[in-house]
Amino acid sequence: MPLTDGEDALNSLLLQTRPYPFTRLNQLLSGVTPPAHLTPISLGIGEPKHPTPQCITDTLIEHIGSIAHYPSMRGEVALREAISAWCARRFGAAVDPFTQILPVLGSREALFSFVQSHVNAADNPCVIMPTPFYQIYEGAALLAGAEPVYLPLTQDTGYRMDLTVLDESVLKRAQVVFVCSPNNPTGSTIGLDEWKELFAMSDRYGFVLCSDECYSEIYCDESRPPLGALDAARQLGRTDFKNLIIFQSLSKRSNAPGMRSGFVAGDARLIEPFLLYRTYHGSSMCPAIQRASTVAWSDETHVVENRRLYREKFDAAQPIINSVLDAPMPDASFYLWTKVPGSDEAFTKALYEQQALTVLPGSYLSRSVNGFDAGYGYVRLALVAEPAEVTEAARRIERFMRDYAA
């Protein structure tokens, strides 16, 4: 019997999870034949395509012999110290490598497992998250036995996470609030005022703020890096990072999504039980990857070059796309959150059919709240391919829009 049949599933909570956006995209496009003369281009999946820096691959190879030993769950001191030094440079924050940092196997794994370690299902909990969103937040809440509560992000409010619109009864049940800045998919970022409000709400209701900062190093203006939550906490005098945990990753920053390397940092009172959970879960990082990660967090040259490549693509493609659709420059990230005429699914299907170009319907990343779906009528464009391919994709959108009527 297949798992999805229900009765035979060992964990009934698994049945509450929704199909992943890319499964839905494949279904939408299956049976659609794009023009044979066009090479297919995908702006659908947000997977980095720039080469992994050689300093990372060389270190991995050099230390491959280290796999002869079990790694420690807490991670090597050298790695935690390199992360702490990076947090000091990037966020001006003093983060203790012994109590406030843990290496994790990419941020997805940690976003999911932290919720399992923290949420107490016996308390009728809920987990608050933005919509549109990274779907792992929802799966993490459901599998921890919590109700996901969705907070729509809209263009007219600058994609602000306004918790005050929620009922007091919901806020009292909240054990975790997910914040994603730079945001996937909107590319918006959170400023100090907004963090101040979020911290005040966290103090009032006791929930943990989980700050997903996977895209924090992908931004256009070298002089204006997005504000991180550790930086915001520091500026507001919250040097113990009370009820805050951030999720960082080398996947986008260092073009190493297959390495599965990231870290969490923040409140030591959250990190310690998370480490206990991880001991049972068995999520320790391969020693060779720890060495390569130490090198990666200690080097900024490749990160600056990475941003230059994204800037080149935004410079070439965004003005073309924005001339036919509403596709403003994001504050950060490699996405264009683009308004389209009518249904995002219909747009996506027609674009693939006529131009062999894949994008992701916004409604695949969102949930309806009181009949309003903040992702409907948007598509997400990931500018990850080679510059020439991204420019060609922009030209195809321009051509497509000459005749497209929703």
Ligand X SMILES: Cc1ncc(COP(=O)(O)O)c(C=O)c1O
Which residue ranges make up the site for ligand X (CB under 6 A)?
Answer: 46, 106-108, 134, 180, 184, 212, 214, 249, 251, 257, 262
In whole angstroms, give the CA distance from residue 15 to residue 5.
9
Placement of tokens 């997005």 in the chain = 226
Per the structure block, which two tokens stand in for 237? Answer: 């005098």
Which is nearer to ligand X, 80 or 253 (by Cβ)?
253
**Cα–Cα distance list, 299 to 127, 292, 303, 304 (Å):** 36, 11, 8, 10
Are 133 and 20 in contact by the 8 Å Cβ rule? The answer is no
Which residue, 334 or 352, has its beta carbon nearer to ligand X? 334
Q: Per DSSP, which regions of 213-269 are E strands?
A: 244-249, 262-266
What are the Cα distances from residue 97, in Å, to 32, 67, 80, 217, 249? 52, 23, 5, 21, 17
Cβ 212 to ligand X, closest distance in Å?
Answer: 5
Spatial separation of the C-alpha atoms in residues 202 and 294, rounded to whole Å? 32
Q: Which alpha helices (DSSP H) does 19-177 contain, by range?
A: 21-29, 54-62, 77-91, 107-118, 136-143, 168-173
Measured from the CB atom, the residue of 251 and 338 that comes closer to ligand X is 251
CA distance 126 to 140: 11
Choice between 132 and 287, CB closer to ligand X: 132
Secondary structure (3-state) at 175: strand
Task: Please report how close the Cβ of residue 61 comes to ligand X at its closest, in angstroms.
Answer: 21
Nearest residue (CB) to ligand X, 137 versus 404? 137
Query: Would you say 249 or 293 has its CB closer to ligand X?
Result: 249
Residue 249 beta carbon to ligand X: minimum distance, rounded to whole angstroms: 3
Give residues with Cβ within 8 angstroms of 121, minimum separation 6. 144, 145, 146
Q: Is residue 66 a contact partner of residue 38, using CB atoms and an 8 Å limit? A: no
In the complex, minimum distance from the CB of residue 260 to ligand X, in angstroms, rounded to a whole number: 7
Phi, psi of 151 (to 5 degrees): -115, 110
Give min distance, CB of 119 to ligand X, in A.
19
CB of 69 to ligand X, least distance (A): 25
Residue 213: CB minimum distance to ligand X, A? 8
Whole-angstrom Cα distance, residue 128 to residue 166?
A: 10
Measured from the CB atom, the residue of 206 and 258 that comes closer to ligand X is 258
Q: Is omega for the bond preceding 132 within 30 degrees of 0, making it cis?
A: yes
Nearer to ligand X, 212 or 267 (CB): 212
